[in-house]
Amino acid sequence: MNRRQFLASFAGAAAFAQSSRKPNIVLILADDLGYADLGFTGATDIPTPNLDRLAQSGIVFTNAYVSHPFCSPTRAGLMTGRYQQRFGHENNPIYDPQNYSAGLPTSQITVAQLLRSAGYVTGLSGKWHLGAASKFLPSERGFSEMFYFRGGGHDYFKQELSGAPREYLIPLERDGKPVAEPEYLTDALAREAAAFIRRHHAHPFFLYLAFNTPHTPIQTAPHHAEKVKPIADEKRRGYAAMVTALDEGVGKVMQAIAESNLDAHTLIAFLSDNGGPINVTASHNTPFREGKGTVYEGGIRVPFVMRWQGRLKPGRYQQPVISLDFLPTFTAIAGARTPTNVDGVNLMPYLQGQKSGPPHERLFWRAGGGVSYAVREGRYKLTRQQGAAEQLFDLDADPSEQHDLSSSQPDILRRLHAAYETWNRSNIAPLFESPRPAQKKKG
């Protein structure tokens, strides 16, 4: 065998090994990102070239939702594939390492546990926010390598390694040990994610990269701020700089995947955990109504992309989907077990054209133990925001939820209300409340 034949046979064997290997999965979460604050969702003042490239080479979901309008419950749904109200995780857990009741109940199985059982290396970089006591930590919930902080947010520059720091100043932890981190936090989380990918390039991996940007506090690094200097409004300029930090971080992850020759072997999913808090950060959810904390579209409809080169044809997917769908999609492509009680749906057959029609007959939301709720069925949505009456909107004709049809279409309103009541019968009361206002750290 000459050198060329040898190389050809080697390349053939490598290609075979690659095609039969399990795909890697990278789940990237942004925190409080406004719907319209990326290039591919309409922003013209914030440059997001990396996320736009991801969107262009993947599937952009135009009717994609999270299962809650704020941080921790969305993450509980994302990790379990179940409506989090089924197991009482409807509020943000207090940051308290001694509190053994406020966190993702250990009775629930996580996507990381399922993928690890199927032979995956499982990594976390970022914000946890699913309980601060030892039994709730990522090491106990399926992750094998971790660089993270336990709470619901963090200062981007500072941490206190001694004493009893408040939630946003706690030390970052690497595999259970506090570590000093000198870099701007968003850059550090991306650095760790890229290193994880390079470290495990030869083995199937699941990476959960949970950025806390662009969540408050608005703190910017000069190299990000430089990119948004032309924005006149000071509040939006600070927020925008944090969105560019997010974008640059996603770029570093994409680069690590490409340089490891893993583009065709890696599913990348990207979304935000809830809508932008428009008055707090000057984020934009255009054209959707209101924002974070509400069950209007501005609170729950999010930018959402899946890219798997060679397996998912780039384009747009219009049917309603929800973040609960990730778990069964991931376990299906990984050949892992899918628990029978998940509410999410494996999206692959829909995205690859083997199934048509909507993956879900209806989607549901409930917040505050039921003071707010919503139901989406096809083009119609029942919305009941705390303190207001039930409203009915036609999202195809009125995505901004401006024209209430509850009196002109009472039959549809009744049907959606009945569907909500039926769904709600299998939910339980919240197991814990969000921290009291005096201690509250915004989720």
List of E strands, 320-379: 321-322, 363-367, 372-377
Amino acid at position 112, single letter: A
Neighbour tally for 71: CB within 10 Å: 29
The H or E element containing residue 247 is helix 234-259
Indicate the residue among 60 and 78 with the shorter CB distance to Ca ion.
78
Residue 401 contacts residue 345 (beta carbons within 8 Å): no
Indicate the residue among 120 and 211 with the shorter CB distance to Ca ion.
211
DSSP lists the bridge partners of residue 206 as 25, 122
Q: Is 129 among the catalytic positions?
A: yes
Shortest Å, Cβ 443 to Ca ion: 6
Shortest Å, Cβ 180 to Ca ion: 26
DSSP lists the bridge partners of residue 142 as none
Shortest Å, Cβ 61 to Ca ion: 19
Rounded-to-integer distance, Cα 419 and Cα 427, Å: 13
Whether the upstream peptide bond of residue 358 has omega within 30° of 0, thus cis, is: no
Shortest Å, Cβ 95 to Ca ion: 15
Indicate the residue among 70 and 120 with the shorter CB distance to Ca ion.
70
Which DSSP category does 22 fall into? P
240-277 as b/e: b if 16+ CB within 10 A: bbbbbbbbbbbbbbbebbeebebbebbbbbbbbbbbbb
Question: Encoding tokens for residue 114?
Answer: 């399922």
Indicate the residue among 263 and 433 with the shorter CB distance to Ca ion.
433
Indicate the residue among 68 and 307 with the shorter CB distance to Ca ion.
68
Interface ranges with Ca ion (CB under 5 A): 31-32, 71, 273-274
**Integer distance in angstroms from the first to the last C-alpha of the chain?**
63
Shortest Å, Cβ 308 to Ca ion: 26
Rounded-to-integer distance, Cα 334 and Cα 22, Å: 6
Shortest Å, Cβ 277 to Ca ion: 8
Burial of 422: CB neighbours in 10 Å, binned 0-12, 13-18, 19+: exposed
Amino acid at position 52, single letter: D
Shortest Å, Cβ 91 to Ca ion: 13
* HSE (side-chain half, CA atoms, 13 Å) at 198: 12
Question: How does strand 64-65 pair with strand 321-322?
Answer: parallel
Q: How many helices (H) and strands (E) in the chain?
A: 12, 16
Distance of CA 220 to the CA centre of its chain: 22
Indicate the residue among 274 and 391 with the shorter CB distance to Ca ion.
274
Rounded-to-integer distance, Cα 343 and Cα 361, Å: 12
Shortest Å, Cβ 272 to Ca ion: 7
DSSP lists the bridge partners of residue 207 as 26, 123
Indicate the residue among 273 and 377 with the shorter CB distance to Ca ion.
273
Rounded-to-integer distance, Cα 153 and Cα 273, Å: 13
Question: Encoding tokens for residue 366?
Answer: 């409930």
Could you give the 3-state DSSP secondary structure of residue 149? Answer: strand
Shortest Å, Cβ 371 to Ca ion: 19
Indicate the residue among 72 and 338 with the shorter CB distance to Ca ion.
72
Q: Sheet containing 380-384: which strands, arranged edge to edge?
A: 363-367, 372-377, 380-384, 391-394
Identify the active-site residue in 68, 71, 215, 224.
71
Closest residue to Ca ion, judged by C-beta, is: 71
Indicate the residue among 31 and 155 with the shorter CB distance to Ca ion.
31
Identify the active-site residue in 68, 89, 129, 284.
129
Residues identified as active-site: 71, 129
